[in-house]
Amino acid sequence: MKLSHYNAAGEASMVDVGGKPETRRTARAHAFVKMSGEVIAALPENPKGDPLAVAKIAGILAAKKTSDLIPMCHSLPLSHVDIETIVEPEGIRVFATAATEAKTGVEMEALVAASVAALTIYDMTKALDKRIEIQDVFLLEKTGVKSGDFHW
C-alpha cells in the first residue's frame, strides 16, 4: 500500500489535489469522554459555564483551524460543521460532522472537531475529577470520495 503523503523520494509532502474534481464531501467522527456520575450530575452547576455549549463552539472553531494544526492538511471552505453531545451514564458521547464542496475530504476536520470538543469538556470538568478519560476517537463515516464511501 502506498501512502499519499510521501513523494517519490520518500519525503513527507502535501498531496496535489489540483486535478481532482470538486465534489460534496462529508465526514462524521466520534469521541467519548468517560467520567463519573458525580461529574455528570454537576454539569448544570459548572461555574465555568455549560461545558456542552462551550464544547460545541470549540469543536466548530477547531474544524476551521485543522489545516493550521495538521501539517499536510489542505485548508478547506467548510460549508457546515456541527457538534452533537449525548450525556450517558458513563460519560459524554461527542459526534462531529463536517461538510464541504472541495477536491479533498473533511475527515481530519471532523476528527479534530470531535477531539477538541472532548478536550473542552475535559477542561471544563477536570476540577471535579482528575480521572476523566477521552476515549474512542475515530472516523464514523466519510462520503463523496473517489474510492467510495466509508461507514464504520
Kindly list the catalytic residues: 123
CA angle 76, 136, 49 (to 5 degrees): 75
